[in-house]
């Protein structure tokens, strides 16, 4: 139910059909990711931030999910650092996040990439509309982590994010401009989603069930999205500051979070 919910294709971008095929291949992808998450969070690095052309301003999808995962790591007794763009780090600063400075990838026990660009087959980075992204990307850290044997988890919703290389053939089949924008960067565990924030919340929800405690209980979607918008982050579809994510109004995102909380409580018997 959680995987179905977070893959609801409200934006009609093709991820719904991709998800159904992916689920057939890897039915327990969310459960497997949550298990790895719980078993590897001693020192977690979270990568997030997606610059939107032409302004290259980071969007509101990704950072909220990164914050939710970071808070879950802390509640479970792990250490966590977030690496992102200066605008994102400034926006998240008031939430008590620890940011990564110099990154020695070999020192981490887990790397989680949430809505951050992944290189295409030509080595470039693209938006869903096929425009080139010219800001620095963090996907090299995912690649390096895999070389060290460090577990990697990624969340993506459009096919052009780090980690979506796991389903590159499905991106080319179902996502507009898929052959051009599809990322080739693979991870150990890929979580697809209708909105990447939802995929991150889904990971936290599934981990909550396995851990026996609702790690989303105090999550306030409205507070986080409004803070990011006030800091200048933009809606990636509307390409302007807006209390929305991926062109979807805030009320929808709030309801998705509330339903996840209810599902977790129900699974925990309360």
Q: 48 pLDDT band (50/70/90 cuts)? A: very high
Per-residue pLDDT of 213-242, as tens digits, reads: 999 999 999 999 999 999 999 999 999 999
Integer CA distances (angstroms), 18 to 61, 215, 237, in order: 20, 28, 20
Domain spans in the chain, listed from the N-terminal domain onward: 1-268
Question: Which pLDDT score, from 0 to 100, does residue 13 have?
Answer: 82
Mean pLDDT of the 63-89 span = 98
Question: Which pLDDT score, from 0 to 100, does residue 115 have?
Answer: 98
Report yes or no: 191 and 155 within 8 Å, Cβ to Cβ: yes
Helix, strand, coil percent values for the chain (each to nearest 5): 45, 15, 40
Q: Which fold has domain 1-268?
A: inorganic pyrophosphatase (n-terminal core) (3.90.1640)
Pairing of strands 51-52, 57-58: antiparallel
Pairing of strands 248-249, 110-114: unpaired
Average pLDDT of the chain to the nearest whole number: 97
Kindly tell me the burial class for residue 46, based on how many C-beta atoms sit within 10 Å of its own C-beta (0-12, 13-18, 19 or more): buried
Pairing of strands 189-192, 244-245: unpaired
Per-residue pLDDT of 111-140, as tens digits, reads: 999 999 999 999 999 999 999 999 999 999
């Amino acid at each position: 139910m959680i995987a179905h919910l977070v893959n609801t294709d409200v934006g009609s971008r093709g991820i719904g059909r991709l998800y159904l095929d992916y689920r057939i291949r890897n039915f327990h992808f969310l459960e497997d990711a949550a298990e790895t998450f719980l078993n590897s969070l001693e020192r977690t690095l979270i990568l997030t931030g997606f610059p939107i052309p032409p302004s290259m301003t980071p969007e509101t999808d990704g950072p909220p999910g990164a914050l939710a995962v970071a808070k879950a790591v802390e509640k479970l007794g792990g250490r966590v650092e977030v690496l992102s763009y200066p605008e994102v780090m400034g926006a998240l600063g008031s939430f008590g996040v620890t940011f990564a400075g110099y990154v020695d990838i070999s020192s981490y026990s887990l790397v989680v990439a949430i809505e951050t660009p992944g290189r295409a087959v030509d080595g470039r980075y693209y938006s869903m509309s096929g425009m080139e992204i010219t800001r620095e990307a963090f996907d090299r850290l995912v690649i390096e982590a895999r070389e060290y044997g460090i577990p990697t988890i990624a969340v993506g919703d459009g096919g052009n994010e780090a980690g979506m290389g796991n389903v590159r053939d499905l991106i080319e089949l179902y996502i507009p401009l898929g052959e051009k924008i599809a990322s080739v960067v693979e991870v150990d565990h890929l979580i697809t989603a209708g909105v990447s924030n939802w995929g991150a919340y889904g990971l936290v929800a599934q981990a909550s069930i396995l851990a026996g405690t609702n790690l989303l209980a105090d999550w306030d979607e409205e507070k986080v999205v409004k803070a990011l918008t006030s800091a200048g982050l933009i809606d990636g579809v509307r390409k302007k500051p807006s209390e929305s994510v991926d062109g979807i109004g805030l009320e929808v995102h709030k309801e998705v979070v509330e339903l996840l909380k209810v599902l977790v409580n129900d699974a925990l018997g309360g």
